[in-house]
Amino acid sequence: MEFELSFTQANNLLACIRKETLLAKQLSAHETANGKILIPDHVFDAESLEQLWRQAERDNDKSLMFQMIALRHIRSGHGHDLVVTRLEMLVPALVDYFETNGIDGWVYRRNTDGVLLPWLIDSIEYIQTRDGPYAGIPFVSIQLLANTITSTSPVDDDSPEQWRTGMTNAILFYQRELGKLTIPELLAQKGFYKECTEFKEEYTKQAGRFRNFQPFYGKQFLAKHSGFLIREGDSRLFKNLELFRISPETSARCVNDEEILERRIETHSDRRNRTDDMYSQIPLHCYLHMFHLELHRNCWIHVDNLEEYRYRPELKTKLILPPEHRKLIDILTSHMDVSTSDIVPGKSGGTTILCMGAAGLGKTLTAEVYSEVVSKPLYRVHSGQLGTSATSVEAALADILKRASRWDSILLLDEADVYIRKRDNDLQHNAIVAEFLRTLEYFNGLLFMTTNRIDDVDDAILSRCIAVIRYETPPREDAIRLWRTLSDQFQIDIPDELIGQLVREFPNSSGRDIKELLKLTSRLCLSCNMPVSIEAFHQCAVFRGKKQTARRESKYPFSCHNACLPD
């Protein structure tokens, strides 16, 4: 068995063990600062294993903890320290090993995403083929069954012969592998571990989370650690799954997209020679079919790596809008279940809000905040995802609208300029706008669209919007609130007098201008160990392309700020 440690884990462990040990030498041999390091289990003694266990507990690294539990059971022997030397004797030895203190007749394996997964032992056989490239080479096969990711059928697949696609796995042993290792060590070398009460308790928790989360179609979750992206093609083929990792201390927003699947879960095997309840229950690999809202890809994420998203309606207080804008959006985003169907059945009963204005004035933020207020996922789509032809717009937009309707989410079409610009003599552009209008007409949800082209929106688009909201540079009172709200958000101590100066000297700043200028000035003052002052804001405004109303001499040389600006 090999432990897979991050370099952070390796360095932390190195600081806790004696430097003359073989483990210390292996841990200190690496020269890179990221990635993983593989350390064989035989170089760990009881003291170093205890240190590693404490670290795994502190980091809540379940994957590493379960490996260590498996190693403890292997080293304890449990009466199975026999080394098998002949392949013919391996079958009865395996049967005896699995049935001694057996629970379900399962083995467990650590998946590539670090999750512990159970498999039912369906059969153990000695096989010697007569044909093919391996004719005459005997081996022992442990056939395994589980309800896996790749055994889940899409909703449009009713082919019975495909139901078990991806459910099987196998562990193979050859004569050349025997003679040195015990049976637990042979299995560990293949990445499999015998069941134990700790593993069963973990699986029971996983199954409970799966039962709780799986029916929540269209609900938003936060994913952490890792998952599997689905490439184009048959999602039941493991080669079409791509492992992705989520940076520590961060999470990814995902939506439960299980509704498009038809799960066929086999609960029990029809195995001929089962003992009581052992070797009968087929375990479930508790992955949920999700849609990654940032990557715009379907993916599989284990329930251990998911938690329900907690909406934050209190963010509404931080959205600074004119009172009439706020009241209008409150009205439009509330009571969404009130029927507004068209006279013609099937035509749009949805709510489309067009947000118009220059960059940085809060158009996108409005949709983001109101998704929190109404507790619905925000499905944000950039116009570049729709393509640049009428055909691509039709196909992409149809899929997007189906998802938004299926999830009952808020749809945000960001930077929609290309699709809502006035029609003219450009036939291709006219076709794109026409197709956009036609497809949009049958959407029944809540749609926000944003554009910077204030005076160049097609009349047909405007007529289909229930409201058009124009965003302008914030007036003095709103600018003061923006400076105060954002400085508090970034924990920058700015007195009211300085905020008054900033509003006077940067009168045409958008919300984004204020945010970025605050961030840059804060980093500059921190790096140069200087107080936050109007002079510091003047220095940083140059790098933001902002002009103040009055030019001032700075107390600090310009070259100092150039040297201290963070990379």
Structure tokens at 440: 């949009």
Radius of gyration of the chain (CA): 31
For residue 553, pLDDT over 50 is answered with no
Q: 366-392, pLDDT tens digit by residue?
A: 899 989 999 999 999 987 888 878 888
The residue behind tokens 């204030």 is 454
Distance from chain centroid for Cα 255: 10
* Tens-digit pLDDT profile for residues 400-426: 999 999 999 999 999 888 888 888 888
- Tell me if 365 sits within 8 A of 326, measured CB to CB: no
* Two tokens, residue 449: 């669209």
- Provide the sign of the torsion angle of the four alpha carbons 172, 175, 180, 183, taken in this order: positive
| Rounded Cα distance, 299 and 289, in Å | 6
The tokens 């003599």 sit on which residue? 425
* Identity of the amino acid at 41: D
Is the pLDDT assigned to residue 275 strictly greater than 60?
Answer: no
Whether the per-residue pLDDT at 466 is higher than 80: the answer is yes
User: 467-471 and 351-357: which strand pairing?
Assistant: parallel
- Identity at 356, one-letter amino acid code: M
Task: Give the mean model confidence (pLDDT) for residues 1-14.
Answer: 74
The secondary structure of residue 211, as a DSSP letter, is: H
The full set of domains in the chain, from first to last, is: 2-59 (no CATH), 87-199 (no CATH), 203-270+285-300 (no CATH), 313-471 (3.40.50.300), 476-564 (1.10.8)
- Hey, how many other C-beta atoms are within 10 angstroms of the C-beta on 307? 14
The alpha helices in 382-510, defined as continuous H runs, are: 390-407, 417-420, 427-440, 459-464, 476-489, 496-505
Give me the pLDDT at residue 247, please. 87
Q: Report how far apart, in Å, the C-alpha atoms of 347 and of each of 177, 416, 419, 447, 493 are.
A: 68, 22, 20, 15, 53
Q: What is the pLDDT of residue 550?
A: 45
Q: What average pLDDT does this structure show over 116-136?
A: 84
64, 219, 252 from 224: Cα distances, Å: 16, 16, 7
Please tell me the distance from the alpha carbon of residue 59 to that of residue 361, in angstroms, as a whole number. Answer: 41
Alpha-carbon distance 102 to 114, whole Å?
Answer: 24
In DSSP notation, 287-344 reads EEEEEETTTTEEEEEEGGGEEE----GGGGGG----HHHHHHHHHHHS-TTS----SS
pLDDT at 383: 79
Query: How far, in Å, CA of 544 to CA of 541, rounded?
Result: 5
Mean per-residue pLDDT, 169-196: 90
Quick: pLDDT tens for 330-344.
887 776 555 455 545
Q: What is the tens place of the pLDDT at every residue in 48-102?
A: 878 787 888 787 787 777 777 777 777 676 546 778 888 988 999 999 889 888 8
The predicted model gives 182-210 an average pLDDT of: 91
